[in-house]
Structure 1
Amino acid sequence: MSFTLWHHPYSGYGQKAATAAYELGLPFELRVVDHTDEALMAEFRAVSPFGKMPALVDAEGRAFYESSVVIEWMDRHAGGGRLIPADPEAALEARLVDRVIDHYVGGPMNRIVQERFRPAGSRDPFGAEQDAQVLARAWDWLEERLSDGRVWAAGETFTLADCAGAPLTTYARRLVPFGDRPRLRAWHARLMARPAFMRALEDAAPYGDLMPAPPAQD
């Protein structure tokens, strides 16, 4: 079983998929998305029609995109039941936390970053502040979710939700600090020590620091 994974190693959603592949021990061919290469981008858009990362192409040439779907494909082809729990209730919790992180951490984070790259005169500080408030609410939600003593985002095992949480919370806390949320901080520390995520960070290291915000100080 082989597949090609299109993403950029610095991309949060790309790291989400790469973390899953490393966690499952799946070898893959990396195609790095480079927006300056027109020929490459034409090939990429033929795989991912909305131009979003990551995208996966299997051995039969079928393309899958959206990070959570890509990870479901990986989990199934790795034998199933690891990143998407076999128990229906546990799987539902993993998908719920994954969706919250994608939409209410990754979504506002990306909008704030895009705002900072906009030229003067076209910025939307009101919208950026609204997104910062959404991030703060997401931190509160995660802190409360972790209050039952779970080790990982959705329970006692590392799942899809942690693959999302590792890169997206790492980047987003540079925009809106965790503050006084000890459970969130402890979970994030566990994510930073997870070998699969450490490998994804190593992949990103050669690209420097592309985040328009200082490293987290909280």
Structure 2
Amino acid sequence: MSLILWSHPYSGYGQKTAVALYELGLPFELKLVDGSPEVMDGFLAVSPFAKMPTLIDTAAGRTVIESSIVIEYLDRLAGAGRLIPDDPEAALEARFIDRVLDTYVGGNMNRIVFNRLGRAGAPNETAMAQDAKELETAWDMLETRLADGRTWGAGESFTLADCAAAPLMTYARRLVPFGDRPRIRAWHARLMARPSFLRALEDAAPFGDLMPAPPPED
């Protein structure tokens, strides 16, 4: 198999890439990054920053890191135009929504989780409050963006933006609920029914619930 994905099925950014692979129908081999010393030695050899996911295309002799770049690479590999629209304006919107999700949803979520798990000592309540506030701002921005009636994150087709949204919104809403934002709720419901994301969730299920926050009650 020519595509090897170094990742963990519970990783939000790993799930983002898995959704893209399933959408595009590209078979791949998972190299499970489980934290063991022997695995980490191999992972660091291909991913110097130890960030998941990392894609190895053995047929092309390419190593690709950063989930958004990995998905752009996969889209081109599959024939282009599916997850990155051919239309320049549509492509720009897909990339913009992806950046909002990665930076202001995933980024803030990960910092809150980092604090809750005590990875840097006692949780910094001030920092967590600031991250939660930025997450609220991200929800507001996305709710406004969806006001034009689009079906998916960047328009009428499922794109890079939705690959990011499916896992990152699912986990982040457990920290900062969607609240009274009906358009985000409806979009998220469509994502939760997408077969590619359901497959990614099935991959993660054997590892249990690793999120240090209860399921949302809203």
TM-score by length of 1: 0.97
Paired residue secondary structure (1:114)? helix
Offset at residue 61 of structure 1 (A): 3.2
One-letter code of the match for 1:205? Answer: A
Q: Which amino acid aligns with 1:41?
A: M
Q: Which residue of 1 aligns with 2:156?
A: 156
Q: Which residue number in structure 2 is paired with residue 177 of structure 1?
A: 177
2:123 aligns to what? Answer: 123
Counterpart residue number, 1:188 = 188
CA distance in 2 between counterparts of 1:86 and 1:152 reads 16
Partner SS for 2:23? helix
Between 87-96 and 60-69, report the one with greater CA deviation: 60-69
Deviation at 1:122, TM superposition (A): 2.7
Distance in 2 of aligned mates of 1:40 and 1:210: 20
Question: What is residue 217 of structure 1 aligned with on the other side?
Answer: 217
User: Which residue does the alignment assign to 2:10?
Assistant: 10
SS of the residue corresponding to residue 140 of structure 2 reads helix
For the 8 Å contact 2:5–2:30, the answer to whether it is kept is yes
1:133-148 matched pairs, under 5 angstroms: 133-148=133-148
Query: Hey, what does 1:57 align to over in structure 2?
Result: 56
Q: What is the CA RMSD across the aligned residues, in angstroms?
A: 1.2
Structure 1 pair 63–120 and aligned structure 2 pair: CA distance change class (3 A)? closer
**TM-superposition CA deviations, 1:171-213 (whole Å, max 9, x none):** 0000000000000000000000000000000000000000000
CA distance in 2, matches of 1:170, 1:216: 9
Aligned partners of 2:121 and 2:101: how far apart in 1? Answer: 31
Structure 1's unaligned 5+ residue stretches are none
Describe the superposition over 1:2-25 as per-residue Cα deviations: whole angstroms up to 9, x where unpaired.
Answer: 310111000000000000000110
CA offset digits 1:67-102 (Å, max 9, x no partner): 000000100000000000011110000000000000
Following superposition of structure 1 onto structure 2, how do residues 28-67 of structure 1 map, counting pairs within 5 Å? Answer: 28-35=28-35, 37-59=36-58, 60-67=60-67
- 8 Å CA contact 2:114–2:120 kept in 1: the answer is no
% identical aligned pairs: 70
- Structure 2 residue ranges without an equivalent (≥5): none
CA distance in 2, matches of 1:33, 1:61: 21
TM-score for both structures, normalised by structure 2: 0.97
Instruction: Classify the secondary structure of the residue corresponding to 1:217.
Output: coil
Between the two proteins, the alignment pairs up a number of residues equal to 217
Describe the SS at the equivalent of 1:70: helix
